[in-house]
Amino acid sequence: MAKEKNLEVLFVETLKDVLHAEKQILRALPKMARGAASPELKQAFETHRDETEAQVERLQQVFELINKPARAKTCDAILGIIEESKEVMEEFEGSEALDAGLIAAAQAVEHYEIARYGTLKTWAGQLGFKEAADLLDQTLQEEVKTDKLLTKLATMRVNKKAA
């Protein structure tokens, strides 16, 4: 008999997707940091890499809390976003616009994560996984903070330099 498709199954499948996304982001952030010209942007990418390591650990805790194995499932969305960031790095290498493009790519990642973690937090709460919801909210707040920092870097310096 086929496994029942309910909110808990959807929650677990989405957790697997986000776990894969975070692991891909961990691999991409050092490359983005190396590509950035702005010292502040380099630092933001390095700081977010450290946060992302903690976020992966938090996801593993969520899997433990719900008694499911922490297995990643390919996240096509994040693979596409990362591919776009690679294209920006290649096409704009050495230009004044590179950092603006890197910020745009990083914000695409952040917005994807904000959407996913917001949904996961809500579902965890509805499923009665309070501790999991709290862990997911902690990550959600970090993603929002990173997005705001990237916006600040873009509007205060990077976009003006690119213009």
**Residue 2 pLDDT more than 60?**
no
**Residue 3 pLDDT more than 80?**
no
User: What is the residue extent of each domain of the chain?
Assistant: 7-158
Among 15, 2, 4, which residue's Cα sits nearest to residue 129? 15
Report DSSP letters for 1-55, one per residue. -PPP--HHHHHHHHHHHHHHHHHHHHHHHHHHHHH--SHHHHHHHHHHHHHHHHH
CATH number of 7-158: 1.20.1260.10
By residue count, the chain amounts to 163
What angle, rounded to 10 degrees, do the helices at 98-126 and 76-91 form? 170
Token match 């690119």: residue?
162
Q: What is the pLDDT of residue 83?
A: 94
For residues 95-113, average pLDDT: 95
Q: How far apart are CA 149 and CA 108, in angstroms?
A: 14
pLDDT in tens, 52-102: 999 999 999 999 999 999 999 999 999 999 999 999 999 999 998 999 999
Q: How many helices (H) and strands (E) does the chain have?
A: 6, 0
